[in-house]
Amino acid sequence: MDALLIMIVAFCGYIVMYKVYGKYIGSKVFALSEAAKTPSVEMEDGMDYVPTKKEIIFGHHFTSISGTGPIVGPAIAIIWGWVPALLWVFLGSIVMGAVHDFGALIISMRNQGKSISEYTSKYVNNRTKFLFFLIVFLELWIVIAIFGLVIAVIFSMYPQSVLAVWLEVPIAILLGYMIYKKGVNVMTWSIYAVIAMYICVIAGPYLPFKMPAIAGIPPTGVWTIILLAYAFIASILPVTTLLQPRDFINSHQLVIAMGLLVLGVLFAGLGGNLEIVAPAIQTTPLKAPPMWPFLFITIACGAISGFHSLVSSGTSAKQVRNEKDALFVGYGSMLMEGALATLVIIAVAAGIGMGYVKEGVTLTGVDAWTTHYSSWAAAAGLGSKVAAFVDGSANMMGSLGIPKMFTLAIMAVFVASFAGTTLDTATRIQRYVIGELGNSLKLNFLTNRFIATAVAVGTALILAFATGASGKGALALWPLFGAVNQTLAALALLIITLYLKKKGGLKWLVAGIPGAFMIIMTIWAVVLNQVNFGTAHNVLLQVINFVILVVAIWIALEGFIKFFSSSGTDEAVKSPT
């Protein structure tokens, strides 16, 4: 099928489903009301609870849930073929991911902006709440540690991205100051900020920066330390100082990058230069795990991701100023991420065929794709995934006449800055999680934002350097991340199902059917992982994976029992909703 046609059909589908299914869920299932008082208004503190315009919070929410997720997942899952990858992204984002993100956001907004692990006690019981905390902490622990490394790897591969990514920080701080302290026009000044950002992007190829080893610590280790220190500072600042304005800039950067990609697909497609070179379906690629269930674990962001429920109930629920804005923020952001993942699939299925350099030789067409995706191991590395997208995208954008040195810089900055947003958002959410846990356990010192953030960053630092000075320690647990993340998505859908069940009728089906599917897929994958880790004699992964399996089954059983129970709310978190 023609890549241009795929893009047009998919994008039209996202728009139609937002207008039809999304609005149905908002009005009929969750009954959004402009009169409802949101946590951002009721609990406004200028630090975390801040009523925010929906366009700004959309930018924060989207850039936080995206990161490199909708890039690396499709970029490796396409090894099973572009058809299953595209179908999962399209259908998954509409009927699963968007419902998951939107549902978690609304329930949190109706429970004082508490995290999904905290309000689990209301809809299931206290035992489940603490088990949920365990899964959430583990996920965020890995995310914080690994994303420092992710950005370090991107900086190493694309040193032309370093200047723009770091100068975005003072640009964002100035933008936040002008908007919130001086009351300037948001759109006008955000355009100024984006122009300044892209001046830095254009300057990047002329001023590349390669981090040297310092005191015996390799460049990746140095970058990891710097990035985690940045995450600490970003997490304790008011959201209006850095988080919101940076993410607003990134949302504009997204529009520009996606616009260039769309135009690249259009011009390359009309010029007859964009041929899909990936196989439609490839069920048994060399040394790859089975497509079922691992397709649904490998592609998370872009279809459905448990991390999104943490963003929805962690930061976004504290900033949405009106319930009706939640549909645009929660459901709309997920469909936008699906659109981005669709472009990623086109880039790695067709764009890479326009030219791929391997050991100094430029390959094109099917040869380019088969060389890059010669086996699961060849395509599985972080650098390989990022390169497939960046190079494929740069090729398509090159059809617009933009020199490749600039297209590479644009896409590298795009990927790195989104990864940075995920890093600082994950750190802030982990701070909330630790604070909520401290409050539940009567350990009041953990509710202090400086101490909670220090615990979040400190534990991630320990994991990052557990295997040496390179900062790659989190890679030891990375094989668990997909299953942990999708287990969290399944459990979040379970909580949403129980919430809707209490409302009566069959509303619960919109979350219950996706939840049942995800529970089956993730537990299936975790069981297969347990077998694989045992075969490889990896005791560490075996033990942690077994704990994940037990917790997932336990919470699922607790939820199943609660679903068929006629009793009301158990205990813990009380609220009128």
The mean predicted confidence, pLDDT, of the chain is 90
Contact partners, residue 227, CB within 8 Å, separation at least 6: 147, 148, 151, 152, 420, 423
Provide mean pLDDT across the span 529-555.
92
Provide mean pLDDT across the span 351-375.
83
Q: Is 567's pLDDT higher than 60?
A: no
Provide mean pLDDT across the span 228-238.
94
Q: Is 258's pLDDT higher than 70?
A: yes
With cut-offs at 50, 70 and 90, classify the pLDDT of residue 570.
very low
Provide mean pLDDT across the span 404-426.
89
Q: Is 573's pLDDT higher than 70?
A: no
pLDDT value of position 381: 61
125 conformational bin, left if phi > 0, alpha if psi -120 to 50, beta if neither: beta
Distance CA 416, CA 428 (A): 19
pLDDT value of position 456: 96
DSSP of 297-340: HH--TTT--HHHHHHHHHTGGGTB-STTHHIIIIIHHHHHHHHH
With cut-offs at 50, 70 and 90, classify the pLDDT of residue 278.
very high
Model confidence over 374-395: pLDDT tens digits? 767 666 566 677 778 888 898 9
Provide mean pLDDT across the span 413-442.
90
Q: Is 295's pLDDT higher than 70?
A: yes
Contact partners, residue 286, CB within 8 Å, separation at least 6: 374, 375, 376
Provide mean pLDDT across the span 552-565.
90
With cut-offs at 50, 70 and 90, classify the pLDDT of residue 575.
very low
Q: Is 323's pLDDT higher than 90?
A: yes
DSSP of 347-377: HHHTGGGG-EEETTEEE-HHHHHHHHTSSHH
Higher pLDDT, 90 or 249: 90
With cut-offs at 50, 70 and 90, classify the pLDDT of residue 569.
very low
pLDDT value of position 378: 62
The ranges assigned to domains in the chain are 3-563
pLDDT value of position 132: 87
Provide mean pLDDT across the span 123-137.
88
Report phi then psi at 362, rounded to 5. -90, 120
pLDDT value of position 447: 93
Provide mean pLDDT across the span 5-34.
96
Percent of the chain with pLDDT over 90: 64
What SS3 state is found at 549? helix
Provide mean pLDDT across the span 165-193.
93
Percent of the chain with pLDDT over 70: 96
pLDDT value of position 67: 74
- Burial (Cβ within 10 Å: 0-12, 13-18, ≥19) of residue 513: middle
Which range, 89-103, 118-132, 304-318, has the best average confidence (pLDDT)? 89-103
Please report the sign of the dihedral spanned by the C-alpha atoms of residue 480, residue 492, residue 71, residue 257: negative
CA angle 337, 343, 345 (to 5 degrees): 105
Q: How far apart are the first and last CA of the chain?
A: 48
Distance CA 102, CA 26 (A): 9
Q: Does domain 3-563 have CATH number 1.10.4160?
A: yes
What SS3 state is found at 254? helix
Model confidence over 150-164: pLDDT tens digits? 899 899 989 999 999
Model confidence over 106-127: pLDDT tens digits? 999 999 999 888 888 889 988 8
Q: Which of 29-38, 116-125, 323-332 shows the lowest per-residue confidence on average (mean pLDDT)?
A: 116-125
CB 474 within 8 A of CB 464: yes
Q: Is 42's pLDDT higher than 50?
A: yes
pLDDT value of position 377: 65
Q: Which of 188-197, 264-273, 561-570 shows the lowest per-residue confidence on average (mean pLDDT)?
A: 561-570
Model confidence over 206-215: pLDDT tens digits? 999 999 999 9
In Å, how far are 198, 205, 251, 575 from 113, measured between CA atoms?
A: 35, 43, 23, 12
pLDDT value of position 380: 57
